[in-house]
Amino acid sequence: MKALVTGCVGQDGSYLCELLLSKGYEVHGLIRRSTAEDLQRAHLPGLKNVIFHYADMTDYGPLASVIRSVQPDLVFNLAAQSHVAVSFQNPVYTFNVNALGANRLLEAIREHCPKARFYQASTSEMFGLSPSPQNEETPLKPQSPYAISKCAAHYSIRVYREAYKMFVVSGILFNHESPRRGSEFVTRKITKALARIKYGKQEKLKLGNLEAKRDWGYAPDYVSAMIQMLEQDVPSDYVIATGEQHTVLEFLELAAEIAEVELPGHLEIDSSLMRPAEVPDLRGDASKARKELGWKPTISFEELVRKMVEHDLEVESH
């Protein structure tokens, strides 16, 4: 069995490739030439058995060529411009990669490998202003160009599933973190900064909205759900979430306690880091995934924060 993973050098992609390899898949990864240096990231030695291909989500030709040559059984589309703040700065590029990129990949599969099973990485950001808890039937009310682009891809999945009878699914994943999370995301920004502050390498931690409420889980748990979705008899969309909710301030205070860092004097609220349109309240209802996939999270919020803090303390101690 062959699996193709776009976005294979990111947090989710790296964990997913490792899991697929452990299950005996021949794993192919899609990378851009401009990000080839990402292969040197500390967490990528586990991907040494991945077969890499160069292609870009904005260019149909190379995508179609990879699909045609590899003939994958499973395709996981994790590639994205995934930072909300950047999407406000560059909405056209975000839409090109996230929405049109998914369509390019779907078309390449439909034309060259229609029996492949396809996973689309959707996001809780699509729910926007809808009240929590949110499930698969909750109305989508996006609040950012990133969320809009993901909504477009999400609806494309439904059209391809219904119109062409393709086995395509969307995983509506709520926030999921790990020591591999990019440092531009608030959780990793916090844990990395606290470690640097503890060892005298940084003075201030600048943050925006501390009251945003999020449902945070552990990334390796969430990538296992991706595979489970493609193992079902009938394609469907699933919310993946813990069902628990915490504010950014709660994450920060717990991380500071674990790192043994006193926040006063080191924390600075920077209004420039506030979103132009905020998503105040995300909490997922993963009842469908628990029932149909048998999926559930394996570690608590406290354990997740501890894993991230201890990792960054180790890194910054040298």
Catalytic residue numbers? Answer: 123, 125, 146
Q: Please check whether residue 43 is in contact with residue 180, taking contact to mean a CB–CB distance below 8 angstroms.
A: yes
Residue 245 has which token pair? 């909710």
Q: Which amino acid is at 91?
A: P
Beta bridge partners of 217: 176
Residue 199: φ, ψ to 5° = -100, 20
Pairing of strands 176-177, 168-173: unpaired
Question: Mind giving me the DSSP string for 151-209?
Answer: HHHHHHHHHHHHHH---EEEEEE--EE-TTS-TTSHHHHHHHHHHHHHTTS---EEES-
Which residues touch 25 (CB under 8 Å, ≥6 apart)? 1, 2, 3, 74
Q: How many residues does the chain have?
A: 318
Residue 11: φ, ψ to 5° = -55, -60
Please, what sign has the CA dihedral across residues 70, 47, 9, 177?
A: positive
Q: Which amino acid is at 307?
A: K
268-272: long-range contacts (C-beta < 8 A, 24 or more apart)? 268/204, 268/205, 268/206, 268/207, 269/206, 269/207, 269/208, 269/210, 270/206, 270/207, 270/208, 271/208, 272/208
Q: Please check whether residue 35 is in contact with residue 9, taking contact to mean a CB–CB distance below 8 angstroms.
A: yes
The rounded distance, in Å, linking the Cα atoms of 308 and 318 is 17
Which residues touch 141 (CB under 8 Å, ≥6 apart)? 127, 128, 129, 130
